[in-house]
Amino acid sequence: MANKVTPVEKSGAGSSSAEMDVMKTYVKSKFGYNSAALTHAKVNNVQRERFAYQIDIWTLMEYRQTKKITRPYNGENIPNAANRNEWEFDFEPPPTGSKKTKTDIRTLEQTRWTTICRKCSGFCRYMCSSCKGDGGKPCYHCKIKALTETEMSNKKPCKHCNDTHVIHCTGCKSTGMIDCKSCKGCGKLLHWYEMKIKWYSIHSVTYQSNTKIPVKVIPKLIRKVPEKKDFWDNDQKWAKTDTFDKYFQNTFVKQHPNSHINVDKLTEDFNKKHGKKAKKNCRIVQIKCSIQKLDITEVEYEAKGFTNKEEKEMVDKFKYYVYGKGKKGEPLVYENDYPMNSCGCFGPKCAHHSVCCTIA
């Protein structure tokens, strides 16, 4: 739908219109503004199809990392077809938008599988490397030197080997074999994946308007309106193949086809602030979007004898925007081209329309 232009009666007494009264009240309330510029001013044009939007987007990011765990096999049940793709498992995520990061460790029993123990090749025991399987080693205490006959006759038996010249192997308790500790003597190992999951939310705020109000000013205007108007809320799952423009077209735009929200710009913003944060191990799993709408009336008025310093091509025409009602019911007005205000250069109480005054 095209912007509706509401014609204003050109009665000549434009200054007495309801719109002009709003501007007069505003100028009176402003320090350093002189209302003389409105004395003969008249309203030219009133446009009510004007809006500003605050678009909050939260994406829930999910990071997954798996770690292989190995234990001796103890007769556990082994699933037939183990799926070891880390993104094939479904987990209930925490709510989107939380400022806290949540982490969780999940044991994926469904990924269990077994292998033969490499240490003992499945034989549960392996040869003692210390005695090479002999169970004993030559006694190195009693073969140090050759003894004379006298020495031989006086010699006491070797206390280490009792003159057998073989000492026990402590590594295998003289059995020559060692019980495999890796598989605890069962010959098999059990493996499974353990997954570390981390959830965190990314939040971005975008402002859009079909007025000439600078985008950086819009947050201030929205904050001034006492009653927030929640225009649209959505919270839904996000698949790996989802794209923002499709999501937005299928949800918001379907319900509000004439919203004036620039989807391309919003998509670009989303990709920069959310989409790019997704990596191989980290995906967007949920999206939450909340839109606040500010209904704005744009009024153009003519003040003969005054010059628009902000927009030269406007000549003697000026604009202001009414964007709601304040706490006391007063109309909230935004303008940045009123011709008779003070920038402070001639003292704080001096209102003027000097060419050198650059107040915005």
Q: How far is the CB of 113 from Zn ion (least distance, A)?
A: 17
Check if the beta carbon of residue 190 is closer than 8 Å to that of residue 114: yes
Interface mask toward Zn ion for 160-199; x: CB under 5 A: xx-------x-xx-------x-xx----------------
Which C-beta is closer to Zn ion: that of 48 or that of 160? 160
Q: Which of 37, 46, 61, 117 binds Zn ion (CB under 5 A)?
A: 117
DSSP run (H or E) holding 59: strand 42-72
Tokens at 89, concatenated:
């498992």
Q: How far is the CB of 163 from Zn ion (least distance, A)?
A: 6
Q: Which of 8, 23, 108, 120 binds Zn ion (CB under 5 A)?
A: 120
Check if the beta carbon of residue 290 is closer than 8 Å to that of residue 233: yes
Dist. CA 188–CA 175, nearest whole Å: 23
Which C-beta is closer to Zn ion: that of 172 or that of 299? 172
Which residues, 6 or more positions from 230, have their beta carbon under 8 angstroms from its beta carbon? 290, 291, 292
Per rule CB under 5 A, is residue 314 in the interface with Zn ion?
Answer: no
Dist. CA 65–CA 279, nearest whole Å: 12
Which C-beta is closer to Zn ion: that of 119 or that of 273? 119
Check if the beta carbon of residue 278 is closer than 8 Å to that of residue 288: no
Per rule CB under 5 A, is residue 139 in the interface with Zn ion?
Answer: yes
Kindly list the distances between the CA atom of residue 324 and the CA atoms of 25, 294, 296, in Å, as whole numbers in the listed order: 14, 8, 7
Dist. CA 300–CA 307, nearest whole Å: 14
Q: How far is the CB of 70 from Zn ion (least distance, A)?
A: 12
DSSP 207: E
Q: How far is the CB of 161 from Zn ion (least distance, A)?
A: 3
Q: How far is the CB of 142 from Zn ion (least distance, A)?
A: 3
Window of 54-62, 85-93, 158-166, 191-199 that interacts with Zn ion by CB under 5 A: 158-166
Window of 25-33, 55-63, 111-119, 287-295 that interacts with Zn ion by CB under 5 A: 111-119
Amino acid at the residue 305: G
Q: How far is the CB of 182 from Zn ion (least distance, A)?
A: 5
Dist. CA 318–CA 190, nearest whole Å: 79
List of E strands, 279-356: 282-302, 317-325, 331-334
Per rule CB under 5 A, is residue 128 in the interface with Zn ion?
Answer: yes
Q: How far is the CB of 152 from Zn ion (least distance, A)?
A: 14
Contact set with Zn ion (CB under 5 A): 117, 119-120, 128, 130-131, 139, 141-142, 158, 160-161, 169, 171-172, 180, 182-183
